[in-house]
Chain A
Amino acid sequence: MFRKILIANRGEIALRINRAAKEIGIQTVAIHSTADAEAMHVRLADESVCVGPPSSAQSYLNQPAIVTACEITGADAVHPGYGFLSENAGFAQMIEEHGLTFIGPRPEHIRTMGDKIAAKETMLRLGVPCVPGSDGSVATAEDAAKAAQEIGFPVLVKAAAGGGGRGMKLARTPADLSTAWSAARAEAEAAFGDGSVYLERYLDRPRHIEIQVVGDGEGKAVHLGERDCSLQRRHQKVLEEAPSAVLPAKERARIGETCATAMAEMGYRGVGTVEFLYEDGEFFFIEMNTRLQVEHPVTEMVYGVDLVAEQIGIASGRGLSLDQATLTPRGHAVECRINAERLPDFAPCPGMVTAYHAPGGLGVRMDSALYGGYRVPPYYDSLIGKLIVHGADRAGCLMRLQRALGELVVDGIDTTVPLFHALLDDQAFLDGAYDIHWLEEWLADRPA
């Protein structure tokens, strides 16, 4: 087992990793910027090293400084957390070249999954369902009709050279196709000087459902079910829950097994998340995150598993301690991402937290690096805490969430807490009847 882990991150996730390491009996090193000298992750670690000025590029992303911090403290492993360097294959490689352990997947797996095309090709090869599309561009209206028949309607005609929604036309039925095809071609020609287009199935109102996987890097892998992260604003997740209100147990087992088998075949090491769009009982792969997710506690609450301890165990060579046969989801869990932002426009709101009180009690977990008197710095992302609540079922979980939100006190700065109070007051949310567009539409419809 490792002797000392350097935590290459800040905020709540640095605390999360510090906690897991302490419980295994491993010493910890915090790194920080000059702006974070008073941060809680620095206070709780055994040692700390200031690696640079406030700007992330010169501190939390400063690879040579982080490697040097390992050398001068004698750390033998690095946990990258999420964000920052967690999906940087070059950094993972640099760590290994220095004879240290990167607590995460092999650099080549990070690289493959970081490339959209390579990721999709790999997943298709491993039998993971992707958004169906034409292989390459369609040259004639007849080719387009044939491809669309195979893909299934509605289809989107997209410019091969495109981006930003230009050269993109929707055909809901076969009758719309030839018009959509020629319009997309003309627009693509005008905008990019290249009229080649391809087809892809269009998803109207999908949900975002992701599967948690863990592999030992030696051909064994398990899945820990799904998280429904459909409540998003500007592609940022706002609230996540497990299990999904729309996924039957049989489908969970099937997609979970598909993902676990793919990871086993790949020889994937550590934790990862396979993200899908889900519509009408069908899954479509979007991307894979080769790291710990922000919302990992939702899965931990439902499965009673410490995912960070599992990451550390696998990285140390101890192997996988989880067995698919004994992994059973229990009850329901919800996570609220609490940001230092002012509603209704979600403007970042850094500043002094004059008072902080974390909710507690049975089934309540608050992951946060806040304390009274802490100044939220303006240099980093606005996530200041995650409130995770577990209950016997969804209804009980939401009642407990309401109770816990009522106990939470964050004074001095504005937060997104009122958003969650409002959601708990909405029938569609209470019914679990939402998709990836629902929250933005709901926010737009609310009086300011």
Chain B
Amino acid sequence: MTKTTEEDVAFIRALAAILKECDLTEVEVTRDYGDDDELKVKLSRAMPAAAAVSMPQPAPQLATSAAPAPAPEPRAAVPAPPQDRSDAVTSPMVGTAYLSPEPGAAPFVQIGDTVTEGQTVLIIEAMKTMNQIPASRSGKVTQILVANAEPVEFGAALMIIE
């Protein structure tokens, strides 16, 4: 049944409140009151202006600027490591990554190797302690994202196992 103008206005107001409260950019709703009797509402708004404002850039992350540079370059040119990929092995701690069990020894794994879940794929040294990092899943190593003896942050992607 068709609503009164006041009721429609109240409904739109409620939608606008939801839009703001939930921080959405767009809401679209269709209310079916009967045959050929419906209310269609589409509300949208611009994203907060902040996104467009010029901001100080994040400080260079370790993963992309290992060498302590006196005047760090903006990191825009460096591709971000794929931390968010579900097939990435990520670092559980801050430390230094080692790809082989000891200097001069063969690396734990190489690109193209097949690994099983739990197998040690590299070592992270923190506080003079060597921590063995296991493969998070079984599969094929397709990318190794750190160099030997390179510092890594918590959560940094170390390798991809597909």
| Closest beta carbon of chain B to A354's beta carbon, Å | 5
B154 touches A51 (CB 8 A): yes
Is A422 in contact with chain B by the CB < 8 A criterion?
no
A48 touches B154 (CB 8 A): no
A44 touches B59 (CB 8 A): yes
Interface segment out of the listed B7-15, B48-56, B104-112, B115-123? B48-56
User: Which of chain B's residues has its CB closest to A375's CB?
Assistant: B23
| Closest beta carbon of chain B to A204's beta carbon, Å | 47
A64 touches B127 (CB 8 A): yes
B132 contacts which chain A residues (CB < 8 A)?
Answer: none
Q: Which residue, of B49, B53, B59, B151, has the highest number of chain A Cβ atoms within 10 A?
A: B59
B61 contacts which chain A residues (CB < 8 A)?
Answer: 48-50
User: Which of chain B's residues has its CB closest to A372's CB?
Assistant: B50
User: Which of chain B's residues has its CB closest to A58's CB?
Assistant: B154
Interface segment out of the listed B27-35, B36-44, B93-101, B135-143? B93-101
Is B147 in contact with chain A by the CB < 8 A criterion?
no
Is B153 in contact with chain A by the CB < 8 A criterion?
yes
| Closest beta carbon of chain B to A42's beta carbon, Å | 6
A4 contacts which chain B residues (CB < 8 A)?
Answer: 68
Question: How far does the alpha carbon of A234 sit from the alpha carbon of B53 in the complex, in Å?
Answer: 39
User: Which of chain B's residues has its CB closest to A351's CB?
Assistant: B23
- How many residues in A have their beta carbons less than 8 Å from beta carbons of B? 36
B126 touches A64 (CB 8 A): yes
A371 touches B62 (CB 8 A): no
A48 touches B59 (CB 8 A): yes
Question: How far does the alpha carbon of A399 sit from the alpha carbon of B147 in the complex, in Å?
Answer: 59
B72 touches A72 (CB 8 A): no
Contact-size category for B: 20 to 34
A73 contacts which chain B residues (CB < 8 A)?
Answer: 62, 68, 151
| Closest beta carbon of chain A to B122's beta carbon, Å | 16
A40 touches B56 (CB 8 A): yes
B96 contacts which chain A residues (CB < 8 A)?
Answer: 71-72
Q: Chain A 238-269, CB within 8 Å of chain B: the 1/0 string?
A: 00000000000000000000000000000000
Question: How far does the alpha carbon of A40 sit from the alpha carbon of B57 in the complex, in Å?
Answer: 9
Main secondary structure, interface of B, reads loop
Residues of B43-99 contacting chain A, CB below 8 A: 48-51, 53, 55-62, 65, 68, 70, 72, 93-96
B95 touches A373 (CB 8 A): no
B62 touches A49 (CB 8 A): yes
Is A45 in contact with chain B by the CB < 8 A criterion?
yes
A-B Cβ contacts below 8 A, count? 94
B127 contacts which chain A residues (CB < 8 A)?
Answer: 64, 67-68
User: Which of chain B's residues has its CB closest to A64's CB?
Assistant: B127
User: Which of chain A's residues has its CB closest to B62's CB?
Assistant: A49
Residues of A13-64 contacting chain B, CB below 8 A: 27, 30, 34, 37-38, 40, 42-53, 59, 64
User: Which of chain B's residues has its CB closest to A3's CB?
Assistant: B68
A50 touches B56 (CB 8 A): no
A354 contacts which chain B residues (CB < 8 A)?
Answer: 48, 50
B126 contacts which chain A residues (CB < 8 A)?
Answer: 64-65, 68
Q: Chain A 152-174, CB within 8 Å of chain B: the 1/0 string?
A: 00000000000000000000000
Is A305 in contact with chain B by the CB < 8 A criterion?
no
Is A89 in contact with chain B by the CB < 8 A criterion?
no
User: Which of chain A's residues has its CB closest to B151's CB?
Assistant: A72
A47 touches B93 (CB 8 A): no
B50 touches A373 (CB 8 A): yes
Is A343 in contact with chain B by the CB < 8 A criterion?
no
Question: How far does the alpha carbon of A354 sit from the alpha carbon of B153 in the complex, in Å?
Answer: 30
| Closest beta carbon of chain A to B47's beta carbon, Å | 9
B51 contacts which chain A residues (CB < 8 A)?
Answer: 373
User: Which of chain A's residues has its CB closest to B72's CB?
Assistant: A46
B58 touches A355 (CB 8 A): no
A47 touches B68 (CB 8 A): yes
Is A340 in contact with chain B by the CB < 8 A criterion?
no
Question: How far does the alpha carbon of A260 sit from the alpha carbon of B156 in the complex, in Å?
Answer: 48
A47 contacts which chain B residues (CB < 8 A)?
Answer: 59-60, 62, 65, 68, 72
Q: Which residue, of B60, B65, B154, has the highest number of chain A Cβ atoms within 10 A?
A: B154
Question: How far does the alpha carbon of A355 sit from the alpha carbon of B51 in the complex, in Å?
Answer: 11
| Closest beta carbon of chain B to A299's beta carbon, Å | 28
Question: How far does the alpha carbon of A355 sit from the alpha carbon of B49 in the complex, in Å?
Answer: 8
Q: List 28 A-B contacts (CB under 8 A).
A: A30-B59, A37-B58, A42-B58, A43-B55, A44-B59, A46-B60, A46-B72, A47-B60, A47-B62, A47-B65, A48-B61, A48-B62, A50-B94, A50-B153, A50-B154, A59-B154, A67-B127, A68-B93, A68-B127, A71-B96, A72-B151, A73-B151, A371-B50, A372-B50, A372-B53, A373-B48, A373-B53, A374-B50
Q: Assuming A64-B127, A372-B49, what are 11 further A-B pairs, CB within 8 angstroms?
A: A30-B59, A49-B61, A53-B154, A59-B154, A64-B93, A71-B96, A72-B62, A72-B151, A73-B62, A352-B48, A372-B48
